[in-house]
Amino acid sequence: MNSETLGEPTRRDFLYLTTGMAAVVGGAAVAWPFIDQMRPDASTLAMASIEVDVAAVEPGMSLTVKWRGKPVFIRNRTEKEIEDAKAVTLSDLKDPVARNANLAADAEATDIARTAGEGKENWLVMIGVCTHLGCVPLGESGEFGGWFCPCHGSAYDTAGRIRKGPAPENMAIPLFSFVSDTVVKVG
Ligand code: FES
């Protein structure tokens, strides 16, 4: 018995299958444009989720990656940044909602609820878009030591929560998870 009869795909099998598929696609050419419109295009699929290696991101460092056309800030917060954010009482927040796609829609904006969670509260993964009119805020800036949006003066704290200025909401946390100790999957 050779590998073909055992069902192992060979180059010849592959060529045969390709030819067969071409014939089928040819016969369905009329239906194809309609079906095609219902699917996300290849570039959308490619960006549906990304994996980012954060092994080199030391405390106090950030990484900005592009996901679905938007910047995502990944910050390894310092102890002080974590302490500062934890010390804020919820009643002092302009937006008391976590805005974290990984949690319930009404989860409170505690520091931990804004982060990667228990044991990983140093990691902040957030869409780096000001919730006022969509500028990209500057990191380690502003009155609250987090982010500052120079467009109209919105200041965010070290958990990315809006504290001052015209922005109405905390910066959004996308769906994300750590797929290993050092790799974050966004989306
Ligand atoms: S867009 Fe950021 S303050 Fe207006």
d(CA 162, CA 131): 9
Ligand 1 centre distance from Cα of residue 150 (Å): 7
CATH of segment(s) 46-186: 2.102.10.10
Which residues are known catalytic residues? 152
**Cα 68 to averaged position of ligand 1 atoms, centre (Å):** 21
Task: Label residue 73 exposed, middle or buried (CB < 10 Å: 0-12, 13-18, 19+).
Answer: buried
Q: pLDDT category, 119, cuts 50, 70, 90?
A: very high
Q: Is any ligand 1 atom within 6 A of the Cβ of residue 162?
A: no
Q: Is residue 165 lining ligand 1, measured as CB closer than 6 Å?
A: yes
Domain boundaries in the chain?
A: 3-36, 46-186
pLDDT tens per residue across span 59-98: 999 999 999 999 999 999 999 999 999 999 999 999 999 9
Distance CA 122, CA 87 (A): 15
User: Which of helix, strand or coil describes residue 112?
Assistant: helix
Taking all residues of the chain, what is their mean pLDDT, rounded to a whole number? 84
Best of 129, 148, 152 for a ligand 1 pocket test (most atoms within 8 Å of beta carbon): 152
Please report where in the chains the tokens 């989306």 appear, as a residue.
Answer: 187
SS3 category, 123: strand
Q: Which ligand 1 atom is at minimum distance from the Cα of 153?
A: 3
The candidate with the shortest Cα–Cα distance to 110, out of 78, 87, 139, 79, is: 87
Please give the DSSP secondary-structure letter assigned to residue 114: G
> 124-136, pLDDT tens digit by residue?
999 999 999 999 9
Task: Decide: 115 in ligand 1 pocket, CB within 6 A.
Answer: no
What average pLDDT does the segment 168-177 reach?
A: 98
Please answer whether residues 150 and 135 qualify as being in contact, where contact means their C-beta atoms are separated by less than 8 angstroms.
yes
Q: Is there an atom of ligand 1 within 6 Å of 135 CB?
A: yes
- Provide the Cα torsion 30, 36, 37, 42; round to 10°: -160
